[in-house]
Amino acid sequence: MGKILVFVEFNHGQLKRSSLELLSAAQSSGQTVVAAAVGSLAEGISKEASQYGATDIYVIKETTFDKYNPELFTLGLTEIIKKSEASLVLATASALGKDLFPRVAARLDAGILSDCIELKISGDNVTAKRPIYSGKCFSKVTFENCPIKIVLMRPNQLPISVPNASATTNVIAHSVNAPSLRTLIKEVVKGTSEKLDLTEANIIVSGGRGMKEAGNFKFLEQLADVLGATVGASRAVVDAGWVTHDLQVGQTGKTVAPSLYIAVGISGAIQHLAGMSGSKVIVAINTDANAPIFQKATYGIVGDFADVLPKLTEEFKRAMA
């Protein structure tokens, strides 16, 4: 039986939902599960990691690991992976994961599958499913010729198991002897929003040109507040300068996979669909009944945002009460 190392990410002292998904998947494979976390607060999540099956947790507590530095993190993670003797590494296909692990794979001569949406672990046999060609096709893939396998999973794809409150874990502190680095993180400018990033959000309320003007995005924000959702946008309104690029969903923006995607005033250009067709349930609200978005939608309302959104927000408020 192999050993699975889960690289976990955390926020405000709690494991991210996507990391719980990975721990749960690792645990249900029946193999030994260990976790790895980095940063000065990393040890604080060891109890939570243990409740989801991690028997050991490797932590790098150096403050230099509080900010993501690709060079330093590659060094730290390759050392931990080697030390743990894990044959499978799971991480989230987050901004950090997608940047870091391809380099780690290259250094370790490991196989890597990024941006996966399904994962099956059966002994040494690991298969995954990945969207390719902008989500127009799925590829079922497996590993060969590699002792170390790395899988990067998109958030919101795997079930979370019931935590075991009495579990304990063994914390293994690892320190990194960093050589002189050629990469320097000069500044990290926080985003303005306290909401979950689009790529992690479970509900997204997205607006397009049909919102008519930038000021009308407040209707989307009100709806998003009621649902605990994150606001997104189409390329057209980003290019028009109504909202910033970090809100763009679709090709040249973000690829998202929430449980619920509400598209308001978005016609559904193929570039937009490429970024959100992995959503479980899609609601389209558009004045044009022939808009392509209705062909992807689960539910639809033909109507104007100004008539629909205030009523919808009220209705959700009642339903969520």
Partner 1 sequence: MKFFVCIKQVPDTETKIKVGADQQIDPAGVKWVMNPYDEYAIEEAIKQREKNPGSQVWVVTVGPKARTAEALRTALAMGADEGILIDAPANLEPQITAKALSLVIQQEGGAKVVFTGRLAIDDNASSVSQMLAEFSNFPHTTVVSKFSMDSENVTVEREAEGGQCEVVQMATPAVVAANKGLNMPRYASLPGIMKAKKKVLKEVSIDSLGFSLVAKTKTLALELPAEKPPVKLMSGEISAQVSSLVQLLRDEAKVL
Which residues between 110 and 139 bind partner 1 (CB under 8 A)? 110-115, 127, 129-139
Q: Which stretch binds partner 1 (CB under 8 A): 46-54, 82-90, 92-100, 213-221?
A: 92-100
DSSP single-letter state for residue 266: -
2 interacts with partner 1 by CB under 8 A: no
Interface with partner 1 (CB under 8 A), residue from 28, 55, 96, 209: 96
Task: Give how many residues touch partner 1 by CB under 8 A.
Answer: 98
List 63, 145, 166, 290, residue binding partner 1 (CB under 8 A): 145
- The answer to whether 173 contacts partner 1 (rule: CB under 8 A) is no
Tell which positions 214-253 bind partner 1, by CB under 8 A.
Answer: 227, 244-248, 251-253
CB-wise, 168 or 244, nearer to partner 1?
Answer: 244
Min dist. Cβ of residue 141 to partner 1 (A): 5
Contact track, partner 1, 264-283, x by CB under 8 A: ------xx--x--x--xx-x
Give the ranges where 4-67 is alpha helix by DSSP (H): 17-28, 46-51
Question: Could you tell me the CA-to-CA distances from 232 to 222, 238, 280 in Å, in that order?
Answer: 13, 10, 16
Say how many Å lie between the first and final Cα of the chain, rounded: 47
| Kind and range of the H or E run holding 223 | helix 217-227
Q: Is 21 in the site for partner 1 (CB under 8 A)?
A: no
Q: Which is nearer to partner 1, 61 or 103 (CB)?
A: 103
Q: Does residue 143 touch partner 1 according to CB under 8 A? A: yes
Please say whether the dihedral angle defined by the alpha carbons of residues 196, 131, 67 and 34, taken in this order, is positive or negative.
positive
d(CA 79, CA 311): 55
Kindly identify the residues of this chain, within the stretch 26-55, that bind partner 1 according to CB under 8 A: none
Residue with the two structure tokens 């902008």: 134
Q: Which is nearer to partner 1, 44 or 102 (CB)?
A: 102
Residues 6+ apart with CB under 8 A from 218: none
Contacts of 165 (CB under 8 A, 6+ apart): 51
Can you tell me which residue has the tokens 């000065």?
Answer: 40
191 binds partner 1 (CB under 8 A): yes
Minimum CB–partner distance for residue 155 and partner 1 (Å): 11
Separation between Cα atoms, residue 256 and residue 270, nearest integer Å: 15
